[in-house]
A and B are shown apart, each in its own frame.
Chain A
């Protein structure tokens, strides 16, 4: 039973355009959400997070949106760059529980 779902295994976007990665969750106890980025042969690196008291958090080219009623969050990358090509994982936690991860979305940014 997957508590965090990333339904798109892959996404291809042209350089300069917007990338939108989606994530859904089922556990209403989750109150902290994160996006991690992973390159091959490396561990996941933290990208951006959002707490459930907010609906948007922005950091440079990266913005995360949270829709609590729909139990949905999304990561927007604009403009997309070839160096953004990686696997992106959505993760969530509730209270002090360990992070629960989705299966990831492989983003390819084409020059």
Chain B
């Protein structure tokens, strides 16, 4: 597809479980971002990749959160030992270069019960 694709669109998991969220950026976009949006809030930055490397992971809330982008294209956000407070919409975005206009996927709604 032409846009940013995120799977799954919805994920319900039990507290304490491990989850993986996938993002397929727009082809050719070198920059990839993960954001988290809670109810009534704006998207909150988590981590940014330039190519395969994490250029800025300062937004990851704690060490239960980890993300990879091994081949500089698809990225996976991994959350260990999920907690109810992790429930949110996780958004992925990509852009041609650093900074600038980012294109978002539709998000993955994560619910931890």
Please list the residues of chain A having a beta carbon within 8 angstroms of any beta carbon in chain B: 4, 6, 9, 32, 34, 36, 41-46, 49, 89, 93, 95-104
Which of A9, A36, A45, A101 interacts with B44 by CB under 8 Å?
A: A101
Give the total number of A-B pairs whose CB atoms are below 8 A apart.
57
Instruction: Name 18 A/B residue pairs within 8 A (Cβ), A-sorted.
Output: A9-B40, A43-B4, A43-B91, A43-B93, A43-B106, A44-B43, A44-B104, A46-B103, A93-B100, A95-B99, A97-B56, A98-B56, A98-B59, A101-B44, A102-B42, A103-B41, A103-B42, A104-B42
Q: Report Cα–Cα, A36/B102, bound state, in Å.
A: 10
Contacting pair A98 B104 (CB below 8 A): no
Interface residues of B, dominant DSSP: loop
By a CB distance below 8 angstroms, the chain A residues around B35 are: 101
- Closest B residue to A42 by beta carbon equals B106
Which of B45, B93, B99 interacts with A96 by CB under 8 Å?
A: B99
User: How close is A80's CB to chain B, nearest CB, in angstroms?
Assistant: 22
Please list the residues of chain B having a beta carbon within 8 angstroms of any beta carbon in chain A: 4, 6, 33, 35, 40-45, 48, 56, 59, 91, 93, 97-107
By a CB distance below 8 angstroms, the chain A residues around B97 are: 96
By a CB distance below 8 angstroms, the chain A residues around B101 are: 34, 46, 49
By a CB distance below 8 angstroms, the chain A residues around B43 are: 44, 89, 99, 101
